[in-house]
A and B are shown apart, each in its own frame.
Chain A
Amino acid sequence: MLGSYRAEILKLRKRSAVWVLFGAGLVLSLIFGYLLPYLGYATGDDNPQTDGVPRAEILRGMLPARVVDNAIGGYPIFAGALALVLGAIVIGGEYTWGTLKTILTQRPRRGTILGAQFLALGTMIALWVLGIFAACALCSVGIAAAEDGSTSWPGVGDLLQGLAGGWLVLMMWCLAGAVLAIAFRNVALPIGLGVVWILGIETLLAGVVSSLLPSLKWLANVLPGTNAGSLVFSVTGMAASDAPPGVRDAVGGGRALLTLLAYCAVFAVLAAWTTRRRDVT
């Protein structure tokens, strides 16, 4: 297992697409968490773009105390979509390059190789989450220093809970991408379908259900995106009024956590079951 894990890490580490995805996630987090708010803050009270939100309120959103909100606030939607792309390119690439046959004829069993792949993806996503957190923390410290704001940090427990929640959300989307890639033995199709699902269908469904079909609310509440948003809402403890898109209070934090774990388990089992019994041609 350890050898397979090292092999998978080597493949991920040296693949530039992985770092492009990570970079995109990081840059987007900084733009929406700090750059745009800071521009809004710096251009003053009378700016209609801030929509009457007091400047002090905007500043508070960028200080270290709220770093977790900014670090993982974008995970349910855009970073989730990037994580899904990561899972799809890493697992789907084995099919499109035909490398699956090469690695399956080495020595470890199929289940072991798949396990090592998921473990390696989990490791890289943890790195990604930490990287985004570190960048956000730096920005918030810088802004606090420049604007004479408070530099009090959230408690260690809150930090860990936030980062772990963010990791779980990304891991769930990554596994979704992996399982779609296995189903279609491909890269492009899973990315297309997955991204349309995350960015379009879930939001549409939630809108339709809440306005037209309240009786289907239960259905909307078991969808992966809804639960990802609810988990992030719960672990950050942000106010509904300044929650980013996709982050909302649809179900409680405990239920969201269990639902996401269940999705991860289902995706992993489906992937293992398909991979183990499939003809590799």
Chain B
Amino acid sequence: MDALVEVSGLTKRYGGTLAVDGVDLTVLPGEVYGFLGPNGAGKTTTLRILTGLIAPTSGSVRVLGGRPGDARVLKGTGSMIESPAFYPYLSGLDNLRLLAEYAGVSRQRIDEVLELVDLADRARDRFSTYSLGMKQRLGVAAALLKDPELVILDEPTNGLDPAGMRDMRRLIRELGTEGRTVLLSSHLLGEVQQICDRVGIINAGRMVAEHNVEELRGEQELVVRATPRDDAQRLLTRFGNVHQYDDTLRVQVDPDRAAEVNRALVEAGIEVSELHTTERALEDIFFELTTAKEKTDVG
């Protein structure tokens, strides 16, 4: 299978800042690829290059087998880069109409995408009156307008409330199950875990790792608050790596073993005041991946 996006050795320098530093990235047909990294990691810069908005400083980039920004490549790519940008004085419908004129898309497709993002009943209102969630949904509608092979969405859930996030994630997952290829950037580990098949992690302009999403699913840990803490810490190393976080202990262990952990602590006469699972913070994973396993193990 030919990759839809093939990036190798991609570098982008803005004056003195190296925003993207030797990124390699491959997106295969039909997958939902998560491009995960904290703010300022270089996600938007990479996606701008893929859509032909900015030129790379060096490296090779192929999108749909062609150069980014070529008419044929643009035709098969729908994108929303950073915040959705539309003409504020036009209605959502008119905004899509004019994009359809540029792209050579039928009027009927406009109604379809409005329906898809659940914006049909507000389509005739001005864009400037839309809530942030509606603006994002219009952005996704615009990205889908061309019925594209490849959909590029840059942090589409940014700034949404929990309900808005949930709807947006459901929508993106549906795109994936339709067999569309989606390249999604995010700074939320949980989000890419929910939506994506494969995840590439970028930090400070460099690709740190590429995983199948199952490999990241193990990245959960147990939060334990117990006294005396030192005894608890010593005991918990039996189950996995332990590190301190504020006044709690974090244990890298399969969350299904929580009961077993609890029993072990209680049997050792340690008082457990809190025990729950949590997702490991993205920052921890970056820290771990970037500092060659110099973990703050205690034990």
Q: Kindly provide the distance from the CB of B69 to the nearest chain A CB, expressed in whole angstroms.
A: 8
Docked pose: A98 CA to B142 CA in angstroms: 15
The segment from B28-36, B72-80, B242-250, B272-280 that touches chain A is B72-80
Looking at chain A's contact residues, the main secondary structure is helix
A281 to chain B: which residues have CB within 8 Å?
Answer: 48, 53-54
| Total chain B interface residues with beta-carbon distance under 8 A | 31
Asked if B58 is an interface residue, CB under 8 A from chain A, the answer is no
Asked if B173 is an interface residue, CB under 8 A from chain A, the answer is no
Check B90–A4 contact: CB distance below 8 A: no
Check B86–A102 contact: CB distance below 8 A: yes
A106 to chain B: which residues have CB within 8 Å?
Answer: 74, 99, 102-103, 146
Check B89–A16 contact: CB distance below 8 A: yes
A104 to chain B: which residues have CB within 8 Å?
Answer: 52-53
| Total chain A interface residues with beta-carbon distance under 8 A | 27
B79 to chain A: which residues have CB within 8 Å?
Answer: 105
Nearest residue, chain B, Cβ from A93:
B87
B101 to chain A: which residues have CB within 8 Å?
Answer: 3-4, 6-7, 10
B9 to chain A: which residues have CB within 8 Å?
Answer: none
Check A3–B88 contact: CB distance below 8 A: no
Docked pose: A280 CA to B44 CA in angstroms: 12
Asked if A99 is an interface residue, CB under 8 A from chain B, the answer is yes
Docked pose: A182 CA to B101 CA in angstroms: 23
Q: Kindly provide the distance from the CB of B1 to the nearest chain A CB, expressed in whole angstroms.
A: 25
Check B102–A4 contact: CB distance below 8 A: yes
Total inter-chain residue pairs, C-beta < 8 Å: 83
Docked pose: A101 CA to B146 CA in angstroms: 16
Check B53–A107 contact: CB distance below 8 A: no
Check B146–A99 contact: CB distance below 8 A: no
Asked if B147 is an interface residue, CB under 8 A from chain A, the answer is no
Asked if B81 is an interface residue, CB under 8 A from chain A, the answer is yes
Asked if A60 is an interface residue, CB under 8 A from chain B, the answer is no
Check A107–B103 contact: CB distance below 8 A: yes
Docked pose: A99 CA to B86 CA in angstroms: 5
Check B102–A97 contact: CB distance below 8 A: no
Contact with A along B105-125 (1 / 0, CB 8 A): 000000000000000000000
Docked pose: A16 CA to B94 CA in angstroms: 15
Nearest residue, chain A, Cβ from B152:
A105
Docked pose: A99 CA to B82 CA in angstroms: 12
Contact with A along B49-80 (1 / 0, CB 8 A): 00111110000000000000001001101010
Check B74–A105 contact: CB distance below 8 A: yes
Check B77–A105 contact: CB distance below 8 A: yes
Asked if A11 is an interface residue, CB under 8 A from chain B, the answer is yes
Instruction: Check A15/B89 contact, CB under 8 A, given A6-B101, A10-B94.
Output: yes
Interface centre among B88, B94, B101 (most CB of A within 10 A): B101
B103 to chain A: which residues have CB within 8 Å?
Answer: 3, 106-107
Q: Kindly provide the distance from the CB of A219 to the nearest chain B CB, expressed in whole angstroms.
A: 36
Q: Kindly provide the distance from the CB of B156 to the nearest chain A CB, expressed in whole angstroms.
A: 15
Check A14–B52 contact: CB distance below 8 A: no
Nearest residue, chain B, Cβ from A2:
B101
Interface residues of A (CB under 8 A from B): 3-4, 6-7, 10-11, 14-16, 93, 97-99, 101-109, 113, 277, 279-281
Q: Which 7 A-B pairs have the closest CB atoms?
A: A98-B85, A7-B101, A106-B102, A279-B54, A7-B98, A280-B53, A106-B103
Q: Could you show 21 A-B contacts with beta carbons less than 8 Å apart?
A: A3-B101, A3-B104, A4-B101, A7-B98, A7-B99, A10-B94, A97-B85, A97-B86, A97-B88, A98-B85, A99-B85, A99-B87, A101-B51, A101-B82, A102-B85, A102-B142, A106-B146, A107-B102, A277-B55, A280-B48, A281-B53
- Given known contacts A3-B104, A113-B102, what 9 new A-B pairs fall within 8 Å (CB)? A11-B90, A98-B82, A101-B53, A101-B82, A103-B102, A106-B102, A107-B71, A107-B103, A281-B48
